[in-house]
Amino acid sequence: MSTDTSTASSNLLTLNVALGERSYPIVIGPGLIGDGERLAASLAGRQVMVVTNDSVAEHYLERLTSSLPDSLEVRTLILPDGEVHKTFASVERIWDALLEAGFNRRSSLVALGGGVIGDMVGFAAACYQRGIDFIQVPTTLLSQVDSSVGGKTGVNHPLGKNMIGAFWQPRAVLIDTDALTTLPSRELSSGLAEVIKYGLIHDQCFLEWLEREMSGLRELNTELLARAIERSCAIKAEIVAADETEQGVRALLNLGHTFGHAIEAYMGYGRWLHGEAVAVGMVMAADLSQRLGWIDAAAVERTRRIIAAAGLPVEAPAEMSVDDFLARMKLDKKNLDSRLRLVLIRSIGAACVHDEAPLEMLKSCIAEFPRR
């Protein structure tokens, strides 16, 4: 294991992302948004800017800022909500705010929100004065189990998702499980797609647990959600520690994402939530894995069944043709030397990166996949 787990303090659990000098803690538990002293302990200097969106600000911005020590110079920036705003222009607004406030190299950014805010704030931090610290305070399940951990930052381009960005690790990730109580059910299901992914690629026992407890997770059982978040973060932290910049094993975290990103780009960012698109992509990856002879029909059906149980789609958009999928999949960042590299399922709980699927087989997989 590349992660260290410390004992819980009261109701808090701490994991460690082991990256040498760039190592950082993931703290999981209730009440963390209002724990200003804990957040302040990760700051390099006294200047801090909290960046959030208008939806999250309504619930949590005042709670976070009012808990910070009076010794800090605190500024805030509220951006519009939604994937459609994950753009270079939004990141420029962060830089503008930092410059107008006279923030220096020892200043810090705090990303209070979901994956869109976290990715943009991280990218802004990576570039401002050639790199300043930032802290992730994720408020959606998807960002808590996936995008807040690992240092991938960036923005979307009209031709592809997350095509412009940088690797920039946070100083800490503070996961307040109470934030999930205000999360819409569709957003919760979107996050569950990434949770399911960890079971499919790395931990069959975890997948079996998810199959048993899915109804409780969807009903916001706090104990079950904390356990799901803990295991998901532990798996991701282990993989990131082994391969920080995705030169090898980290690519496995992209199960379903090549198909899913194609759906998001074609349909228009925000029409399909990220987890919804990835959910369909994971079923498509399972279908192709069966065609390659690696898994049987029962494994494909098992994948489809748990994704449907999470309240997620299992059918591709009716509007998308084979060519629509392929045109966008060819822009995937995993591709090398014009070879389409896909993350596929070798067996339940184990995945691989494969670049030798026959083109006609891939086309048949896409063409014959159920549509809605």
Last residue of some domain: 129, 161, 182? Answer: 182
How far apart CA 298 and CA 285 sit, in angstroms, is 14
State the Cα–Cα distance between residues 215 and 224, nearest whole angstrom: 10
Q: How many residues does the chain have?
A: 372
The last residue of one of the domains, among 182, 208, 227, is: 182
CA distance 109 to 49: 5
What's the pLDDT score for residue 5?
A: 45
Which residues, given as ranges, of the chain have pLDDT below 50? 1-8
Inter-residue contact 275 to 311 (CB < 8 Å)? no
Contacts (Cβ under 8 Å, ≥6 apart) of 59: 139, 179, 182
One domain for residues 154 and 200: no
User: H helices of 249-368, where?
Assistant: 257-267, 274-291, 297-309, 322-329, 359-368
- Pair 191, 164 in one domain: no
Q: Are residues 13 and 121 in the same domain?
A: yes
Domain count, the chain: 2
pLDDT of residue 182: 92
Q: Are 252 and 167 in a shared domain?
A: no
Based on the fold, state whether residues 47 and 109 are members of the same structural domain.
Answer: yes
At 337, which CATH number? 1.20.1090.10
Q: Specify whether 137 is located in the same domain as 195.
A: no
Q: At which of 159, 182, 205 does a domain end?
A: 182
Examine the domain organization and report whether 207 and 248 are in the same domain: yes
Q: Is 283 exposed, middle or buried (0-12, 13-18, 19+ CB in 10 A)?
A: buried
Same structural domain, 10 and 130: yes
Q: DSSP assignment of 61-101, as one string?
A: IHHHHHHS-TTSEEEEEEE--SGGG-SHHHHHHHHHHHHHT
pLDDT for 169-202, tens place per residue? Answer: 999 999 999 999 999 999 999 999 999 999 999 9
136 and 221 together in one domain:
no
Q: Could you read off the pLDDT of 132-150 as tens digits, one per residue?
A: 999 999 999 999 999 999 9
Q: Are 119 and 86 in contact (CB under 8 A)?
A: yes
Annotated binding site: 81-86, 115-119, 139-140, 152, 161, 194, 257, 274
Secondary element (H or E) of residue 141: helix 141-142
> Are residue 215 and residue 88 in the same domain, yes or no?
no
CATH code for the domain of 169: 3.40.50.1970
Q: Report the binding-site residues for Zn(2+).
A: 194, 257, 274
Residue 9: the pLDDT is 55
> What is the pLDDT, as a whole number, of residue 3?
42
Indicate whether 199 and 314 sit together in one domain: yes
Binding residues for NAD(+): 81-86, 115-119, 139-140, 152, 161
Residues 214 and 124 in one domain: no
Whole domain around residue 144: which residue ranges?
3-182
Number of Cβ atoms within 10 Å of the Cβ of 201: 25
Helices (H), 162-245: 185-202, 204-218, 222-242
Q: Which residues are catalytic?
A: 130, 152, 194, 236, 246, 250, 254, 257, 261, 274
Residue 166 φ/ψ, nearest 5 degrees:
-155, 160
